[in-house]
Amino acid sequence: MITMPDSNHPRWTFLNPLKEVLAPTSARTWVLFFFGSLMAWLAFPFLRVAAFSMIALSLPLMVALMVSVISDYSGQPRSHAWIVALAIGWMVMLVSISLARLPKRNSDEALLTEVALQGMTQGINPYSRDYRGTQLDTWVGDLREFGGVHPVATRYIYLPGHLVLSMPFYVILKKISGWYDQRVVYLAAYLMLVGLSWWSLRVSPLRDPLVLSLALNPFLFFVFNGFNDLLVLSLLSVAGFAMATRRLSAAAVILGLAIATKQSAWVLAPFFLLALHQAGQSKWSSTLRCVAITVGVALLVLLPFVIWSPADFYDDTIRYFTSGSPFSNAGEGISGLLRAISPNSPGPFPFWTWQVFFSLPIVVTLLWRSRIRPSTQKYFFFSALALSAAWFFSRYFLPAHMSVIIILITLSFLIGEVERTNKSL
C-alpha cells in the first residue's frame, strides 16, 4: 500500500513552508495553470504562428489564471463562471484560427463528408458513388502508402447519422454564405459538450475544475482536426449525463443517434444499455422501453440508406472495416504490425477474426466486471477500455482514436460527479 509522506515527520518538515504557500490554491487554479500552459505550448507549433503571437493569444488565459490565484489567496475561492466561459471562448478562438490557417484540404474526412452532403442535396446516394474527380482530390495527404489511391476515394465509410446531423449545418451555411467547412459541425459539438457539462454540474462544488479539465483538454483539441469522432463523443456524453440525472428516455434517443452515427458506438452500446438498466433501478419494463427507443431511433436513421442500396451500404460501412480491402492498412495496432511485416503486400485481411478472438473476450470480461457495484461512471469508464481493445485489432487505430479513449475516460469522471450530486439532492 502506497502512503503519502507525513509532513510532520522530521524528515519532511522542510516541506511545511511549501505546504503553507500552496494550501489555499484551488483545483480550478491548478487546472488552469496546467492545461492552459499545455494548450498554449501545443498550439504554438500546430498553428504555425510566431511566439509573440502565441503569447498575445494566451493573454486571456493568463488573466483568468491571475484572477483565480488572487481569489484563492484572498480567502474567497468562490466560483467565477466567467473564468470558465473565458477558457471556453479561448478554445473556440483557437479552433477558429486553426480553421482559417489549416485549410480543409488537410482533412480527408471533412472533404469526403462535404462532397457526400453536396451529392445528397442532388439526390446522389453517398454509398454508391465514386469520389474521385471531386473536391476530395484536393486532399494534401501522402497517397504513397495507399498505392496512389485513397482508401475511401470510392466509398463513404461513415454511418448515415453523421450526414443527417451535418445536413442542417450544410444547408444553412450554404444558403447564407455559400461557404461550408465540415469542421464547423465539430466546433458546435464541442460547444454542446462543454455547455452541457457546465449545466449538469451546476450543483457540484467541483464544477469549475472538472469543466476546465474538459474544455482545455489537449486531446480534445487533437480530435478537432477534422475527425468526426467529436460528434459521436458529444452524443455519448449527452446520453451519459441524461442517465446520471435519470432522464432515461432522452438517453435512449441520443444513444440511438450515436449508434447510427459511428461504428465505434456499437462496441459501447452494451455498456450504455446496462447503464440504462441500472439507472432505471433494474426495472425490466423501463429497460425494454429504453431498448425499443434506442433501436427505433437507430433504425429510423439507418434504414432509408440501407434500402437505397443495401450492397453499397454494406460494402462501405461494414465489409471495408471487417474484411479489409485491396489497400494497405493505415494506423497503429494490429494494422501497423501487418504493414511492418509486409509493407509491399496490401492485400485484404480479415480483421473481424482477430477482433472475435482477441477483442471480444476482453469486451465480455469488461461487461461482466462493470456489473460489480454498477454506476453510470463505471459503465462509461469500462466502455472506453472495451473500445480501446476493439480498435487495437481493427483496420484503423489512429492517434486520434487514443485521444477519443482519453476523452471518454475524462467524461466518465464528470458523469460520475453528476451522478453523485444528483443522488444527494
| Amino acid found at 116 | A
Between 131-140, 176-185, 402-411, the lowest mean confidence (pLDDT) is in 131-140
Could you give the 3-state DSSP secondary structure of residue 371?
A: coil
Q: How far apart are the first and last CA of the chain?
A: 35
Taking only the tens place, the pLDDT of each residue in 103-159 is: 666 677 888 888 899 989 999 999 988 887 777 776 655 555 555 566 677 788 899
- CA dist 381 and 370 (Å) reads 9
pLDDT value at residue 365: 87
Angle at 357 between CA 365 and CA 239, to 5 degrees: 50
- Whether the predicted pLDDT of 221 surpasses 60: yes
Question: How does DSSP classify residue 13?
Answer: G
> In the Cβ-directed half-sphere of 302, how many Cα atoms lie within 13 Å?
20
Residue 296: all three cell numbers together: 427505433
Q: How far is CA 337 from CA 329, 341, 347, 391, 394, in A?
A: 9, 6, 14, 14, 12
- Single out the residue of 297, 275, 300 nearest to residue 286, CA to CA: 275
pLDDT value at residue 256: 94
- CA dist 327 and 149 (Å) reads 8
Taking only the tens place, the pLDDT of each residue in 246-263 is: 888 999 999 999 999 998
Classify the C-alpha dihedral 410-244-299-383 as positive or negative.
positive
- Whether the predicted pLDDT of 331 surpasses 80: no
Could you give the 3-state DSSP secondary structure of residue 228?
A: coil
The crossing angle, in degrees rounded to 10, of helices 59-73 and 81-101 is 160
Percent of the chain with pLDDT over 70: 79
